[in-house]
Chains A and B, each alone.
Chain A
Amino acid sequence: DTAVSQTPKYLVTQMGNDKSIKCEQNLGHDTMYWYKQDSKKFLKIMFSYNNKELIINETVPNRFSPKSPDKAHLNLHINSLELGDSAVYFCASSQGVGEVKIYEQYFGPGTRLTVT
Chain B
Amino acid sequence: SQQGEEDPQALSIQEGENATMNCSYKTSINNLQWYRQNSGRGLVHLILIRSNEREKHSGRLRVTLDTSKKSSSLLITASRAADTASYFCATSTGANNLFFGTGTRLTVIP
Q: Are A50 and B96 in contact (CB under 8 A)?
A: yes
B88 at the interface (CB under 8 A from A): yes
User: Is A15 part of the binding interface, using a Cβ–Cβ cutoff of 8 Å?
Assistant: no
Asked if residues B98 and A105 are in contact (CB atoms below 8 Å), the reply is yes
A107 proximal to B (CB < 8 A): yes
**Cβ-defined partner of B43 (8 Å) among A31, A55, A107:** A107
**Interface bits B1-14 vs A (CB < 8 Å: 1, else 0):** 00100000000000
Per DSSP, chain A at the interface is strand
Complex Cα gap A96–B92 (Å)? 12
The reply on B44 being an interface residue by CB < 8 A is yes
Chain B residues in 8 Å Cβ range of A42: 3, 100, 102-103
Q: How large is the interface on A (under 10, 10 to 19, 20 to 34, 35 or more residues)?
A: 20 to 34
B68 at the interface (CB under 8 A from A): no
Find out whether the CB atom of A109 lies under 8 angstroms from the CB atom of B97.
Answer: no
The answer to whether B41 touches A45 (Cβ under 8 A) is: no
Give the complex CA separation of A33 and B90 in angstroms: 15
List residues of B (68-110) whose CB comes within 8 Å of A's CBs.
Answer: 86, 88, 92, 94, 96-100, 102-103, 105
